[in-house]
């Protein structure tokens, strides 16, 4: 298949979002904002006056120490621990399988409520370790080069399921602090990228709440500059990303004309290159030190000519966007309608960008042997699309 006859997609948002709290039974404390946790503790009988202090204590246990058992929260009185245990749980998704690539990349298959599955990838590098997390099961958008886009079933992850991915990875890396041990400044999990399955800006509130938890200084405490959100271009939510999350932004750009981008990234039919670039030009955080990453997948004969490289530079200059360009060699998946551009073509493309004065790193594919590279993620146990009622009943709602 070529770009000309690649499937085009409905740009709808038919996604089920589960409520944060189950109507009955214990409430999961994971994924609640500080305000929500405070309200939940008060509802369970914590005196108003103590509530803020209790949130601080419980927050530290969960997100700084990685504790999952109320009995281990030793600075709380025994009867308060009992109150917590009878009203709340500290629940994470469950790791079903873990694969480790020849290059050290780890891929986890994780099961969430309703029996759905998402994938998480941990990529160790010399000076950092990046966790690539998912924001949805599948994706409503159907970018023609992306494996996730072929998955029919879609549901938004809850904030608990999003931050839970980070917590599970820290469990597996053995990275929660040990009381009394010297503080370790080199973190195995130092960066988060929202580049797994799903379009994070179609699940804005849950992604925001989860990333706020990741950044909270009393807990996991990652700098906002070490979190990158990648979007295919949900224009109305872009400014909110700076205002409400404050993290770094990456854009799945991938084409330099609307004609080609319409086919590769179908959301372009709703918000075209001009609308996207206009939103980026006024992105509140953009500056030379916080440049926006333009992701560009190199597809043989589709978007990889010298003319494309020149057009890309011209666009970035025209709209005056502080940018760096990340070239991603296409990662193939079974039945993919494209092939990867040759190394020579990718280098020539990178050279044009570099000579124009922009950084143009070529991303080395990681974990290809375990299908963990960009765009290869897709739930292995694909099923037919289910009704909302069926998903809700499976989730116990």
Nearer to ligand SF4, 198 or 329 (CB): 198
CB 149, min distance to ligand SF4, A:
3
Containing H/E element for 276?
helix 273-281
**379 is a contact residue toward ligand SF4 (CB under 6 A):** no
State the minimum distance, in angstroms, from the CB of residue 72 to ligand SF4: 38
Cα(157)–Cα(207) distance, integer angstroms = 8
Q: Is 232 in the site for ligand SF4 (CB under 6 A)?
A: yes
Q: Which is nearer to ligand SAH, 138 or 219 (CB)?
A: 138
Q: How far apart are CA 225 and CA 193, in angstroms?
A: 11
Residue nearest ligand SAH (C-beta atom): 375
Q: Which does 195 bind (CB under 5 to 8 A by kind): ligand SAH, ligand SF4, none?
A: ligand SAH
Give CA–CA dist 220/214, Å, rounded: 5
- 308 belongs to the binding site for ligand SF4 (CB under 6 A): no
Listed ranges 79-87, 134-142, 280-288, 316-324: which one lies at the site for ligand SF4 (CB under 6 A): 134-142
CB 301, min distance to ligand SF4, A: 20
Residues of this chain that interact with ligand SAH (CB under 6 A) are 139, 143, 145-146, 195, 198-199, 230-232, 252, 295, 297, 328, 330-331, 374-375
Stretch that binds ligand SF4, among 13-21, 136-144, 211-219, 358-366 (CB under 6 A): 136-144
Among ligand SF4, ligand SAH, none, what does residue 353 contact (CB within 5–8 Å per kind)? none
28 or 135: whose CB is closer to ligand SAH? 135
Q: Which does 295 bind (CB under 5 to 8 A by kind): ligand SF4, ligand SAH, none?
A: ligand SAH
DSSP string of 132-178, one letter each residue = E--SEES-SS--TT-SGGG----EEPPHHHHHHHHHHHHHHHT-SPP
Active site residue 139: no
- Closest to 112 (Cα-Cα) out of 170, 67, 175, 157: 157
Residue (76 or 117) nearer to ligand SAH, CB: 117
Q: What is the largest CA-CA distance in the chain?
A: 70
- 253 secondary structure, DSSP code: -
Dig out the tokens for 330 from the structure.
């296409």
- Contact letters (x/-) for ligand SF4, 234-253, by CB under 6 A? ------------------x-
Examine residue 146 and tell whether it contacts ligand SF4 (CB under 6 A).
Answer: yes
**28: which 2 tokens?**
């999961």
| Closer of 252 and 303 to ligand SAH (Cβ) | 252
Residues whose CB falls within 8 Å of the CB of residue 355, separated by 6 or more in sequence, listed in order: none
Decide whether 149 or 219 has the Cβ nearer to ligand SF4: 149
How many residues make up the chain in this entry?
Answer: 397
Tokens linked to 112: 């969430």
Which of 117, 119, 237, 332 is an active site residue? Answer: 119
Write down the catalytic residue from 125, 259, 374, 394: 374
Strand order in the sheet with 292-298: 94-100, 106-111, 117-124, 129-132, 191-194, 227-231, 248-252, 292-298, 323-329
Of 95-103, 135-143, 183-191, 319-327: span binding ligand SF4 (CB under 6 A): 135-143
The candidate with the shortest Cα–Cα distance to 299, out of 276, 328, 263, 333, is 328
In the complex, the smallest distance separating the C-beta of residue 193 from ligand SF4, rounded to whole angstroms, is 12
**In this structure, are residues 247 and 227 in contact, taking their beta carbons and an 8 Å threshold?**
yes
Report the phi/psi class of residue 282: left, alpha or beta, with left for phi > 0 and alpha for psi in -120 to 50. alpha
**CB distance 353 to 311 below 8 Å:** no
325 binds ligand SF4 (CB under 6 A): no
Catalytic, 119? Answer yes
Q: What is the DSSP letter of 299?
A: B
Cβ of residue 363: shortest distance to ligand SAH, in angstroms?
8
Using the minimum distance from each CB to ligand SAH, give the nearer residue, 28 or 232: 232
The catalytic residues are: 119, 374
Task: Give the footprint of ligand SF4 on this chain (CB under 6 A).
Answer: 139, 141-143, 146, 148-149, 198-199, 232, 252
């Amino acid at each position: 298949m070529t770009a000309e006859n690649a499937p085009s997609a409905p740009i709808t948002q038919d996604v089920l979002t589960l409520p944060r709290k189950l109507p009955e039974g214990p409430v999961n404390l994971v994924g609640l904002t500080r305000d929500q946790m405070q309200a939940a503790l008060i509802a369970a009988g914590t005196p108003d006056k103590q509530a803020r202090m209790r949130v601080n204590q419980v927050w530290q246990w969960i997100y700084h120490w990685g504790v999952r058992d109320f009995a281990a929260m030793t600075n709380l009185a025994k009867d308060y621990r009992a109150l917590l245990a009878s009203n709340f749980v500290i629940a994470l998704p469950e790791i079903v399988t873990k694969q480790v690539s020849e290059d050290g990349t780890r891929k986890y298959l994780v099961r969430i409520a309703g029996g759905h599955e998402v994938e998480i990838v941990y990529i160790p590098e010399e000076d950092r370790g990046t966790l690539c997390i998912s924001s949805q099961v599948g994706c409503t958008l159907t970018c023609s080069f992306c494996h996730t886009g072929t998955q029919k079933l879609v549901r938004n992850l809850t904030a608990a399921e999003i931050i839970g991915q980070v917590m599970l990875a820290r469990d597996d890396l053995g990275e929660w602090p040990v009381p009394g041990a010297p503080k370790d400044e080199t973190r195995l999990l130092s960066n988060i990228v929202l580049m797994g399955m799903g379009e994070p800006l179609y699940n804005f509130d849950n992604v925001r709440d989860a990333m706020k938890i990741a950044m909270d200084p009393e807990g996991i405490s990652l700098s906002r500059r070490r979190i990158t959100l990648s979007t295919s271009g949900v224009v109305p939510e872009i400014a909110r990303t700076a205002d409400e999350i404050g993290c770094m932004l990456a854009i799945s750009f991938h084409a330099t004309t609307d004609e080609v981008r319409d086919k590769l990234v179908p959301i372009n039919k709703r918000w075209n290159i001009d609308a996207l670039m206009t939103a980026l030009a006024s992105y509140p955080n953009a500056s030379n030190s916080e440049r926006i990453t333009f992701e560009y997948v190199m597809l043989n004969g589709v978007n990889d000519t010298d003319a494309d490289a020149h057009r890309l530079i011209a666009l970035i200059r025209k709209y005056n966007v502080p940018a760096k360009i990340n070239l991603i060699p296409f990662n193939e998946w079974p039945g993919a309608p494209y092939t990867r551009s040759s190394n020579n073509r990718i280098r020539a493309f990178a050279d044009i960008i570099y000579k124009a004065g922009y950084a143009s790193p070529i991303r080395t594919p990681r974990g290809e042997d375990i299908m963990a590279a960009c765009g290869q993620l897709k739930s292995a146990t694909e099923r037919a699309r289910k009704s909302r009622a069926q998903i809700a009943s499976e989730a116990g709602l």
